[in-house]
Amino acid sequence: MTGTALRLYDCLPSGNGYKIRLLFAHLAIAYERVEVDVYSGVTRTPAYLAKNPNGRIPMVELPSGERLTESNAILFHFAEGTTLLPEGAWARAKVLEWLFYEQYDHEPHIAVLRRWAQTGLNDEQRAALPKKEAAGYAALAMMERRLADHDFLVGAAFSIADIALYAYTHVAGEGGFDLPRFPGLVRWLARVASRPRHVPITFPGDRWSTFAAG
Ligand SMILES: N[C@@H](CCC(=O)N[C@@H](CS)C(=O)NCC(=O)O)C(=O)O
């Protein structure tokens, strides 16, 4: 791996990481992906915390050595000047509206239930399940209210709002959510997946290595 490429610290099953893989595919941005096993504790080692004090993926590292974290901040940065981020303060704020919504009302329920389905539930999680499920369905219903009669989340064009929300929504079924209850949302999922340059969540990138805490 060269020392000068744009790097993405990522974890293949992560929807937050997938947002960036999908963005880079749409924008044909070349990068090297560094696979970080977030379930091994490596993100909390001094070597990783020196790069990201918040101990999480995704993170991009520029050839200059500068780093940017938070999936939706990364989307916002790289979409600047492209069709994936509309011009004008109002339209951009409408994109941010969805990005903040995704982080507060959507991802903490939809992504977490997907993870719990992979690991199995402890007693605390079992007790929290009904509230999490209800909050997840409320998040999907909110999306349905927009997508019942619109092709995309903001304006008439595909944007990083769609990328941010697609990432965990398209795998919500893995967390037990019944997506066919939301027909507009299901049509939107198909619309996003059929776009040229789309890649699936399993796409590991063209060049990748594994992060080792050393
Ligand atoms: N708000 C963050 C959330 C990132 C996040 O939760 N990353 C998880 C994987 S999906 C992670 O790195 N977990 C490892 C850890 O917490 O040690 C974002 O959108 O980037």
Distance in angstroms (rounded) separating the CA atoms of residues 86 and 7:
26
C-alpha dist (Å) from residue 157 to 49, 82, 183, 201: 38, 12, 20, 22
- Which amino acid appears at position 36 of this protein? V
Q: Are 17 and 8 a contacting pair, CB within 8 Å?
A: yes
Q: Strand 32-35 and strand 7-10: pairing?
A: parallel
Q: Are 159 and 95 a contacting pair, CB within 8 Å?
A: yes
Ligand 1 within 6 A of CB of 52: no
Ligand 1 within 6 A of CB of 205: no
> For the whole model, what pTM was predicted?
0.97
Ligand 1 within 6 A of CB of 172: no
Taking the chain (214 residues) in consecutive chunks of 10 residues, what is each chunk's mean pLDDT?
A: 81 98 97 96 97 98 97 98 98 98 98 97 97 98 98 98 99 98 98 98 90 80
Say how many Å lie between the CA of residue 40 and the centre of ligand 1: 13
Say how many Å lie between the CA of residue 172 and the centre of ligand 1: 17
Closest to 170 in 3D by CA, of 148, 139, 200, 131: 200
What local confidence, expressed as pLDDT, does residue 213 receive?
77
Local structure of residue 179 (DSSP, 8 states): G
Closest to 36 in 3D by CA, of 69, 68, 13, 54: 13
What local confidence, expressed as pLDDT, does residue 3 receive?
59
What local confidence, expressed as pLDDT, does residue 92 receive?
98
- Exposed e or buried b per residue across 174-210, where buried means at least 16 C-beta atoms within 10 angstroms of its C-beta: ebebeeeebebbbebbeebeeeeeeeebeeebeebee
Closest to 154 in 3D by CA, of 72, 106, 103, 85: 85
